[in-house]
């Protein structure tokens, strides 16, 4: 790692010149942008390797994923391979992009690309004097983590498919058959969507069934209070999100938000959402008059947000790989899978 590592800051201008620049440029343009890469290494028990920033570094004492800044002329992949060799003495054999994010510190911006290290050689060692450790995913929150790590934890614990239930006839045989099918197919995140009030006992039964199969159930119901104990979180409509001034639920519950453009997605992130759904990415039969935002706009949402993004609208399983390749968390839908 070079200098202060992933988020170290080096002034490019003299103090006087910086002052002049600040006087004439918007705040965002005053920031130095640091482009960096980090790697996600897992051991045989699926623990993740994290490294502690040394005291002399910016944000010393915080834990992070290993990595560093991209050198001039390097590709992202070349940079992460080099950094992990320099920091951990490992040879990366296979890797894939997991997520991108942008984070603004007081005096600089970090554009971060996170890579899954699928295969590597040698045993990782902290050869630059840094402390390293393997952690279970559920234990990562016990560490003093860099701000970017919270979104990363969500991105590795959330699945790549988010099923949304049909919004009517909930207690009918067809509805229940479909619900049971999704659980048996391995769906692990479900949005219970209803435009009418549902009986509490019915929701409790669904939640109990989900718990038995390690499935998380989020409520998108008209009468949600955010105090329900019989769910794993809630999903907000766009209008509900825009009427809130702060996150309405505890951090140990999941909060998803439906959005339709970049501004709404950024507002959801600011509110404290754990993930967003952006739609419609493609044309849909259910909303034929709605103009889709398209893949390019959907990718911009992924690039600008730090939290996971699901694509909704005209999605099929054939679109899943494409969504993952551009950094989305995955796809969402009622009949997409």
| Statement to judge: residues 171 and 132 lie in one domain | no
Domain boundary among 86, 115, 150: 150
CA atoms within 13 A on the CB side of 184: 6
Please indicate, yes or no, if residue 210 is contained in any of the structural domains: yes
| Statement to judge: residues 165 and 142 lie in one domain | no
Say if residues 235 and 204 touch (Cβ distance below 8 Å).
Answer: no
Please indicate, yes or no, if residue 220 is contained in any of the structural domains: yes
Say if residues 268 and 246 touch (Cβ distance below 8 Å).
Answer: no
Say if residues 175 and 166 touch (Cβ distance below 8 Å).
Answer: yes
Please indicate, yes or no, if residue 70 is contained in any of the structural domains: yes
Domain boundary among 96, 126, 150: 150
CA-based Rg of the chain, rounded to a whole angstrom? 22
Is beta strand 108-121 parallel, antiparallel or unpaired with respect to 161-164?
unpaired
Query: Domain total for the chain?
Result: 2
Distance CA 184, CA 127 (A): 46
Structural domain range at position 144: 5-150
The pLDDT of residue 97 = 87
| Statement to judge: residues 223 and 122 lie in one domain | no
DSSP state of 190: E
The pLDDT of residue 189 = 98
Please give the distance of CA 43 from its chain centroid, rounded to a whole number. 22
Paired strand residues for 114: 38, 99
The pLDDT of residue 103 = 82
Please, which contacts does 248-254 make with residues 24 or more away whose CB atoms are closer than 8 Å? 254/216, 254/218
Instruction: Give me the CATH number covering residue 113.
Output: 3.90.79.10
The pLDDT of residue 20 = 35
| Statement to judge: residues 113 and 140 lie in one domain | yes
| Statement to judge: residues 44 and 70 lie in one domain | yes
Predicted TM-score of the model (pTM): 0.76
| Statement to judge: residues 36 and 141 lie in one domain | yes
Please indicate, yes or no, if residue 145 is contained in any of the structural domains: yes
| Statement to judge: residues 53 and 176 lie in one domain | no
Say if residues 329 and 309 touch (Cβ distance below 8 Å).
Answer: yes
The pLDDT of residue 177 = 96
Distance CA 246, CA 271 (A): 5
| Statement to judge: residues 61 and 35 lie in one domain | yes
Please indicate, yes or no, if residue 155 is contained in any of the structural domains: no
| Statement to judge: residues 170 and 316 lie in one domain | yes
| Statement to judge: residues 168 and 136 lie in one domain | no
Domain boundary among 87, 120, 150: 150
The pLDDT of residue 16 = 39
The pLDDT of residue 30 = 60
Q: If the chain, 337 residues long, is cut into consecutive pieces of 10 residues, what is the mean pLDDT of each piece?
A: 40 34 44 91 95 87 94 97 98 91 84 93 95 94 85 87 96 94 96 96 98 97 95 98 97 95 97 97 83 96 92 95 91 94
| Statement to judge: residues 57 and 25 lie in one domain | yes
| Statement to judge: residues 101 and 194 lie in one domain | no
Please indicate, yes or no, if residue 156 is contained in any of the structural domains: no
């Amino acid at each position: 790692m070079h200098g202060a590592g992933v988020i170290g800051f080096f002034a490019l201008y003299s103090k006087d010149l910086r002052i002049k620049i600040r006087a004439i440029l918007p705040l965002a343009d005053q920031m130095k942008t640091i482009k960096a890469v980090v790697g996600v290494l897992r051991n045989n028990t699926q623990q993740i390797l994290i490294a502690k920033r040394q005291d002399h570094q910016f944000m010393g004492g915080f834990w992070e994923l290993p990595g560093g800044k991209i050198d001039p002329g390097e590709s992202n992949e070349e940079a992460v391979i080099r950094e992990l060799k320099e920091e951990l003495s490992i040879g990366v054999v296979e890797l894939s992009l997991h997520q991108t994010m942008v984070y603004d510190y007081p005096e600089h911006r970090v554009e971060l690309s996170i890579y899954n290290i699928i295969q590597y050689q040698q045993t990782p060692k902290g050869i630059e004097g840094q402390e390293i450790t393997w952690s279970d995913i559920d234990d990562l929150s016990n560490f003093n983590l860099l701000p970017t790590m919270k979104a990363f934890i969500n991105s590795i614990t959330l699945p790549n498919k988010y099923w949304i239930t049909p919004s009517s006839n909930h207690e009918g045989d067809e509805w229940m058959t479909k619900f049971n099918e999704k659980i048996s197919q391995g769906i692990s995140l479900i949005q219970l969507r209803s435009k009418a009030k549902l009986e509490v006992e019915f929701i409790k039964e669904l939640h109990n069934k989900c718990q038995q199969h390690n499935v998380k159930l989020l409520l998108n119901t008209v009468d949600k209070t955010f105090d329900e104990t019989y769910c794993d979180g809630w999903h907000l409509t766009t209008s509900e999100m825009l009427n809130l001034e702060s996150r309405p639920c505890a951090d140990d519950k999941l909060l998803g938000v439906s959005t339709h453009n970049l501004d709404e997605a950024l507002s959801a992130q600011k509110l404290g959402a754990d993930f967003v759904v952006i739609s419609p990415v493609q044309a849909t039969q259910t909303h034929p008059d709605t103009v889709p935002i398209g893949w390019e706009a959907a990718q911009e949402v992924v690039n600008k947000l730090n939290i996971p993004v699901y694509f909704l609208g005209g999605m099929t399983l054939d679109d899943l790989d494409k969504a993952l390749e551009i950094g989305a968390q995955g796809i969402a839908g009622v009949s997409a899978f």
